[in-house]
């Protein structure tokens, strides 16, 4: 089942990525704002999600759907698709390559409710993060490992992804992101001010999905962020976990909007402690 779902997610992500890339070439403008006037959505976000949703419904009409840009829909199959049509919309707007299509599918938990947050207690089965600007396609299935495929390079074999091991906090390259509301940003800046002297350096790319894939690929040692939505990390979290990362929230709880940390287990513990001390 996981392999079939992964194949479907891969095919849909490639089609969605082609559409989003075409719209980027045509020119992008802001269609609306969300949590603040700098938290924006483009027409391409909405069009790309509509395409993804339609393609899922065509193949699996009984599955639930939970996306960033449209209303959630319940299903009867016990599976839910969690979609961010363009993760890194501000990067997309400005023409920066760090944006991606994020698609995950998993089993609904007992607490899951497609009208609220169906990822509560869910179990991810397959996840895909596709960055059309670079041709990098990150994929994972539950128990099947995490892999990097190179779209447009047919001779390039998929690469097995494994997290960095043995990095001490002082030598760790850590990724993070920030909220689009001023008050939350101020609080995040204070945490960062305390954390920065304790690590090698900090990176802020602007896409949670790609940050999690960077942990999986060893391009970051760890990553943390608060105030994420399920669609921001559903696929990337599975990819990081299948590459050997511990992905969790505060005090071992599942990752939620309160906190998500991803790193190999020993670094996870050190980063978790440093973040709690910085609060």
Identify whether the C-beta of residue 18 lies closer than 8 Å to the C-beta of residue 132.
yes
Terminal Cα distance for the chain, rounded:
42
Q: Which of 169, 88, 162 is nearest to 129 (CA)?
A: 88
What token pair was written down for 89?
């919309």
Query: Distance of alpha carbon 172 from its chain centroid, rounded?
Result: 21
Q: Which of 12, 268, 27 is nearest to 126 (CA)?
A: 12
Number of neighbouring beta carbons within 10 Å of residue 72: 16
Binding-site residue ranges = 68, 84, 86-87, 232
Binding-site residue ranges for Mg(2+) = 68, 84, 86-87, 232
Q: Which of 227, 233, 234 is nearest to 108 (CA)?
A: 234
């Amino acid at each position: 089942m996981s392999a079939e779902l992964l194949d479907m997610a891969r095919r849909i992500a490639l089609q969605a990525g082609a559409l989003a890339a075409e719209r980027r070439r045509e020119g992008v403008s802001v269609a609306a704002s969300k949590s603040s006037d700098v938290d924006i959505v483009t027409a391409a976000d909405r069009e790309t999600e509509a395409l993804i949703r339609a393609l899922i419904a065509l193949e699996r009409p009984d599955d639930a759907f939970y996306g960033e840009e449209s209303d959630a829909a319940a299903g009867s199959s016990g599976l839910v698709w969690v979609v961010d049509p363009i993760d890194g919309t501000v990067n997309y707007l400005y023409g920066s390559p760090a944006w991606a299509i994020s698609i995950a599918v998993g089993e609904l938990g007992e607490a899951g409710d497609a009208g609220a947050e169906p990822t509560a207690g869910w179990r991810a089965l397959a996840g895909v993060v596709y960055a059309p600007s670079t041709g990098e396609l990150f994929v994972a299935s539950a128990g099947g490992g995490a892999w990097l495929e190179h779209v447009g390079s047919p001779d390039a074999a998929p690469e097995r992804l494994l997290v960095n091991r043995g990095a001490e906090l002082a030598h760790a390259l850590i990724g993070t992101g920030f909220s689009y509301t001023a008050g939350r940003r101020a609080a995040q800046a204070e945490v960062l001010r305390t954390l920065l002297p304790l690590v090698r350096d900090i990176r802020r790319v602007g896409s949670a999905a790609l940050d999690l894939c960077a942990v999986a690929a060893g391009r970051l040692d760890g990553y943390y962020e608060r105030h994420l939505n399920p669609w921001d990390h559903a696929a990337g979290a599975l990819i990081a976990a299948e590459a050997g990362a511990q992905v969790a929230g505060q005090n071992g709880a599942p990752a939620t909007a309160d906190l998500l940390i991803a790193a190999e287990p020993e670094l996870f513990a050190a980063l978790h402690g440093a973040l709690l001390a910085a609060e």
